Amino acid sequence: MQHVSTRGEAPPLGFAEAMLAGLARDGGLYVPQSWPRLEPAEIAAFAGRPYAEVAVDIIARFVGDSIAEADLARMVREAYGTFRHPAVAPLTQLGVNTFALELFHGPTLAFKDLAMQLLARLMDRVLAARGRAPHHRSGDLGRYRRRRGRGVSRPQPSRSRRAVFRKAAFPDVQRRMMTTADADNINAVAIDGTFDDCQAIVKGLFNHHAFADRVRLSGVNSINWARIVAQTVYYFTAAVALGAPYRKVAFTVPTGNFGDIYAGYVALRMGLPIDRLVIATNVNDILARTLATGTYALRDVVATTSPSMDIQVSSNFERLLFDAYDRDGSAIRR
């Protein structure tokens, strides 16, 4: 499975290379060259199976021969073995035909655990097999980085993991989670600004190719394609529990950087019968306005009680535009 940049000028990469790269050399985001498709019978067969088994089946279609399936299965079991609920991502009924998909049973109580607990293991496995590690991994990931980044014991002590966060926007408990870990290979960097400012810094570092190559920069926020792949799994498990593929399911997703709801779009492209994907937003409603008007118009970011939704530049929206423009990288660059 080869992966291509949304801007069409970076060389295609396999899954492992795209995962380590994070952002493509041309500033675009990696997506699969083609979408793997599941037949209805394959989707129906997910019913009643453990979450980890379904995850291996779906993720393996993107990983290809980059990672041996036995290794992938072991890492998936380890990642989701840290969750406090045996279903990993259970459903709770709220009303008639209305359910909540609970994505907070991981070790940091954040939905990002569904991807990050696995992504860190995948990256460590690939890097160990190649006898190297990046000096820096960057991202605006809050609590997760402090829990998963510590205690990594492979050689090359020069490697560090750096979390960038917004000083004013974080609740005190999250700030303490980020700044009080005793691991010496993690650095938290606070800035005065918004999520968009943090993300602009990270992208600027990636686009400084000499620097990125020298420190072997990697990114683990949702610009990383492996994040999206891992999040695609719970759309399948939830939909099958509610009757898919014999019944369509609609998902309403709180959305900031567009990664979580885009994972639902990936599931749709893979054959999951999804009726609608609904963007739930706060006052920072650029995605809802864009779909309603066709104009991507930036406004000032308004701080709310949901800081991960306080975004105006939603990076993963570029991945959707790539498909909307018939995968024309030149159109996306323009």
Q: What is the rounded CA–CA span in Å between residue 124 and residue 16?
A: 11
C-alpha to C-alpha distances, 204 to 19, 25, 149, 283, 323, nearest whole angstrom: 18, 11, 23, 27, 25
Closest alpha carbon to 134 in 56, 59, 215: 215
Q: What is the rounded CA–CA span in Å between residue 222 and residue 205?
A: 16
Active site residue 112: yes
112, 167, 203, 248: the active-site residue: 112
Measured distance between the N- and C-terminal CA atoms of the chain, rounded to whole angstroms: 27
Contacts of 132 (CB under 8 A, 6+ apart): 156, 216
Dihedral sign of CA atoms 123, 187, 318, 316 in order: positive
Residue positions annotated with a catalytic role: 112
